Amino acid sequence: MKYRTLKLLKKRRIVRKKIKRKQTTDRAVLALIIGLGLVLVLLVGCSYRMVPNETKIEYGTTETDSKNDKLQQKQSISQSWKWEKQ
């Protein structure tokens, strides 16, 4: 009886090690796939660059404010960008 129990426990331990090994292998493969995907995205992204497309500068005065009768100055800069292949 004792020997049978020991054999079963050994078999059980061996199966558990195989399962752990398989899980570790699965994780390693998943990490490798994600890493290669990230490298691919970065390499493709390096062939493009962002360049300014359009720049607008607005400067001027607005009408008087009814509370204090002073002219208000309006200043703004806006810029749009686009992707360009190198």
Digit-coded pLDDT (tens) for 49-71: 888 889 888 887 776 666 666 77
Local confidence band at 14 (pLDDT 50, 70, 90 cut-offs): confident
3-state secondary structure of 65: coil
Average pLDDT over every residue of 11-29: 79
pLDDT at 2 over 80: no
| Strand residue runs (E) in the chain | 48-61, 73-85
Residue 68 to residue 74: CA distance in whole angstroms: 17
Residue 23 to residue 35: CA distance in whole angstroms: 18
Q: How far is CA 11 from CA 2, 39, 77, 83, in A?
A: 14, 42, 74, 60
3-state secondary structure of 39: helix
Q: pTM of the prediction? A: 0.39
